[in-house]
Amino acid sequence: MGMARTLKFGAGSPQKSAPHVLAELLAPGRPLVMGILNVTPDSFSDGGRFFEPGKAIAHARDMADHGADIIDIGAESTRPYGGPVPVSADDEKTRLATVLPEVVRLGVPVSIDTIKATIAAWALDQGAAIVNDVWGLQRDPDMPLLVAKRGVPIIVMHNRESADSAIDIVADVINFFARSLEIAGRAGIARKDIVLDPGIGFGKTPEQSITCIARLAEFKRFGLPLLVGASRKRFISTVTPSTPDERIGGSISAHLLAVAKGATIIRAHDVAETVQALRVAAAIEAAR
């Protein structure tokens, strides 16, 4: 780490995002919905649908209107089922350049979904408020220092290069989180700024993804908010054969169960349906 990286990122311009955005989002004590915005041509669920900037901005506006608490924007497909095509930092920034500032102007906190510290830094300068790292601070060695220096929330997601059906996936996730939290602590990231995501579909068999949701409460041992993104994931198709755009019902079912087991944030493609499901479930619970 050291001085070189400190100077590399520098103090930058004054941080535009609210320094306590995560605490403010969590304060009402209800599950939050993070809407997914893929500015990519090859995402598994909606590849290319929102690649054109105008369509991406319009979709973000729709998600905000339908109750999204956070909009998560990414410009490099992580393709959880293999075959991701790496995108250069320049190309990633080009995809984001027109879209991200306009999405920030909607007034909903924006999360930047990237594994590159340089892209995260640029996005934060444009007004993004949260960093979403699908490699949980364990891929780009500059990411922990950047997040610590900016004092922004970080979503730490579990990932693996490939699935291994022989392992205890819950133990693997717990060990991964422990390593990520050690990295975060050394960098100076405050625990209040950390959200944990078990990475449904990433480096997991469908059965392991189901297990992570079923045993989600075991990840509460860290005392940190949990995010679950089961939206349109392949494990749904192993229960009931379906294409990604036919998995709304399975996504909502998984997300309602995840909330019941302790999830604080739900990451979803279908924001209106997810918000409605969570509100109805909450109303029913309140009437008990």
Where in the sequence numbering do the catalytic residues fall? 233, 267
Cα separation of 140 and 21, whole Å? 24
Going by C-alpha positions, the residue among 262, 171, 179 that lies closest to residue 213 is 262
What is the C-alpha to C-alpha distance for residues 143 and 96, in angstroms, rounded to an integer?
19
| Element at 267 (helix H, strand E) | strand 265-268
Measured CA to CA in angstroms, residue 22 lies from 35, 185, 202 at distances of 16, 18, 24
Q: What is the Cα–Cα distance from 157 to 180, expressed in whole angstroms?
A: 9
Residue (of 103, 127, 119) closest to 21 by Cα position: 127
